[in-house]
Amino acid sequence: MIALTLTEIAAAVDGALHLAATDATGDTVVSGPVTTDSREVEPGGVFVAKPGEFDDGHRFAPSAVERGAALLVVEHPLDLPVPQVVVADSVQALGALATEVVARVRAKGRLKVVGVTGSNGKTTTKNLLRGILERAGVTVASRKSFNNEVGGPVTMLEVTDETEFLVAEMGASGVGEIARLVRMARPDVGIVLKVGLAHAGEFGGIEQTVRAKSEMVTDLLPTDVAVLNADDPRVVPMARVTPARVVWFGLGEQADVRATDLVVHARGTEFTVNAPGEASVRVRFGVLGEHHVMNALAATAAALELGVPLAAIAEALGEVTLAERWRMQVMGGRDGITVINDAYNASPDSMAAALKTLAQVQQPGTRTIAVLGEMSELGEFSGEEHDRIGLLAVRLGISQLVVVGPGARRLHISTVNEGSWDGESAYVETADEAYDLVVSMVRPGDTVLVKSSNAAGLRLLGDRLGEWFA
């Protein structure tokens, strides 16, 4: 975090400064990292005590002090010998502090902010942008999937006076949440990747999901840029609700930044990037799957708007071998066996994309095995979407399906009911059963996909299979 006095911090978060039993004054400067996790506190840092669903961060304040916290942001005073700012709501205070810090850095004229949202691909696109922009200047980007009301501002608070680019991943489980993050960071470039059924159950339907994702671009300024997916019929209408200049990305001819001549193989994807005023460039992208090309195009469009040459962007993309752990992560290798671990998350769109990639990389004379778990948070759409994925697996000619867990059982039933298969789908209750079954059935040259929502826990199954066939 940038250096601020205790008085400035208290004013930014509308809190009361408590200095009893300390040697500090209102002019004492704090500049250490800000966190809500006492285990991550560094000497001179700020600990925000956040009440949680199952626990209360105030209980861990003594541990934060032991680790060297210079300031506590709390909802009630604690009997601890460290300065404290007492606020009504610590999460709101965290956001207010992030807003202040970003505004101060932006006022110096160096910082450019990119916001990224969408039902799928946020973390991948954020990571690609970080890899591209780091070559051009000091870059701060969200760690892991830090994209909510806590992770978002924690990331923003990492900016310093030297930061040139902030890439802020912005997720939501309801209307209004992205708008709050946008107001904190004030993006110069806002990206909307795709609007699908991921978390539709939480949002209350696809219309509410569209409304929430559009918050990325509705408050942009006319001098800002909205980077929109030209291939998504739910994203295209957002051009009508943003005052910003629109730049389109996609595979179709209507896109400003588009990919042509795609080739998908077991170790990555190759494509040609075309952009206005730029010579076309061939990219050898080490991330598996045609759907990740769209993320690369979104990152490319944003980076071009920030002044990065297309040749430099292509070079950066060519050095990416893994978008993120558990996202189309290629493992294995023994006896020509490939394991694709894509079980960090799953929506109908990403599940379909992963299955299509599995079918695309199949070599003649080899088999494909899909180990699939539940797609969670789909609400009323859950049953029909699991049915649809089961039918897709059949129609793509996937050699063998292993369905794991009660939440995904309907997927198995739909494949059996399709009638064109005879025993190619197996159902097991647990990941351990799935592991034993897959190990027993795999043959040299097979490609195994492991895909599920995070809650299903199959990412660890993917790791086990990858290690076994390493």
Q: How many Å apart are CA 438 and CA 433, to the nearest integer?
A: 9
By C-alpha distance, which of 292, 459, 438, 268 is closest to 370? Answer: 438
What pLDDT score was predicted for residue 420? 58
> What is the architecture, at CATH level 2, of domain 4-89?
3-Layer(aba) Sandwich (3.40)
Q: What is the mean pLDDT of residues 315-326?
A: 82
Beta bridge partners of 451: 342, 372
User: Which residue, chain included where needed, has tokens 């799957």?
Assistant: 289
Task: Say if CB 74 and CB 58 are below 8 A apart.
Answer: yes
Q: What is the mean pLDDT of residues 136-145?
A: 88
Annotated binding site: 118-124
pLDDT over 80 (residue 53)? no
pTM score, whole prediction:
0.85
Q: What is the mean pLDDT of residues 87-103?
A: 97
Residue 331 phi/psi, 5° resolution?
A: -135, -170
The number of angstroms, rounded, from the C-alpha of 449 to the middle of its chain's C-alpha atoms is: 20
Q: How many Å apart are CA 282 and CA 272, to the nearest integer?
A: 4
- Average pLDDT value for the chain: 92
Angle at 299 between CA 111 and CA 183, to 5 degrees: 45
For the chain, give the percent of residues with pLDDT over 70: 97
Does the structural domain 108-318 have CATH classification 3.40.1380.10? Answer: no
What pLDDT score was predicted for residue 363? 87
Q: How many Å apart are CA 291 and CA 355, to the nearest integer?
A: 11
What pLDDT score was predicted for residue 136? 95
What pLDDT score was predicted for residue 204? 61
Q: What is the mean pLDDT of residues 103-111?
A: 95
User: Which residue, chain included where needed, has tokens 């080490």?
Assistant: 286
Task: Say if CB 433 and CB 458 are below 8 A apart.
Answer: no
pLDDT tens digits, residue range 380-398?
Answer: 889 999 999 999 999 999 9
pLDDT over 80 (residue 197)? no
Angle at 139 between CA 243 and CA 314, to 5 degrees: 80
pLDDT over 60 (residue 272)? yes
Pairing of the two strands 268-274 and 189-192: unpaired
pLDDT tens digits, residue range 26-38?
Answer: 999 999 999 999 9
List the helix and strand counts (H, then E) for the chain. 15, 22
DSSP helix/strand/coil, 73: strand
pLDDT over 60 (residue 203)? no
What pLDDT score was predicted for residue 326? 72
Angle at 448 between CA 377 and CA 266, to 5 degrees: 105
214 or 202, greater pLDDT: 214
Q: What is the mean pLDDT of residues 118-137?
A: 93
Residues contacting residue 467 through CB under 8 Å, at least 6 positions apart? 331
By C-alpha distance, which of 2, 5, 158, 3 is closest to 83? Answer: 5
DSSP category for residue 454: G
310 or 266, greater pLDDT: 310
Start-to-end C-alpha separation, the chain: 42
What pLDDT score was predicted for residue 378? 84
pLDDT over 90 (residue 147)? no
What pLDDT score was predicted for residue 200? 53
Q: How many Å apart are CA 439 and CA 375, to the nearest integer?
A: 24
Q: What is the mean pLDDT of residues 71-92?
A: 97
pLDDT tens digits, residue range 157-173?
Answer: 999 999 999 999 998 77
Q: What is the mean pLDDT of residues 304-309?
A: 97
Task: Say if CB 155 and CB 107 are below 8 A apart.
Answer: no
Ranges of each domain in the chain? 4-89, 108-318, 329-468
Q: How many Å apart are CA 44 and CA 317, to the nearest integer?
A: 37
What pLDDT score was predicted for residue 47? 98
DSSP helix/strand/coil, 72: strand
What pLDDT score was predicted for residue 268? 84
Beta bridge partners of 427: 403
**For the CA atoms of the chain, what is the radius of gyration?**
24
Q: What is the largest CA-CA distance in the chain?
A: 77
Annotated binding site for ATP: 118-124
Residue 242 phi/psi, 5° resolution?
A: -110, 135
By C-alpha distance, which of 89, 352, 347, 387 is closest to 203? Answer: 347
pLDDT over 90 (residue 367)? yes
Q: DSSP H helical segments within 204-329, as ranges?
A: 206-218, 290-305, 310-318
| 55-64, 145-154, 369-378: least confidently modelled range | 145-154
Residues contacting residue 281 through CB under 8 Å, at least 6 positions apart? 272, 273, 310, 311, 313, 314
| 5-14, 128-137, 200-209: least confidently modelled range | 200-209
Q: Do the domains 4-89 and 108-318 sit in the same CATH topology, yes or no?
A: no
> What is the architecture, at CATH level 2, of domain 329-468?
Alpha-Beta Complex (3.90)
The number of angstroms, rounded, from the C-alpha of 422 to the middle of its chain's C-alpha atoms is: 38
Q: What is the mean pLDDT of residues 235-254?
A: 97
Q: How many Å apart are CA 34 and CA 16, to the nearest integer?
A: 18
Residue 345 phi/psi, 5° resolution?
A: -160, 165
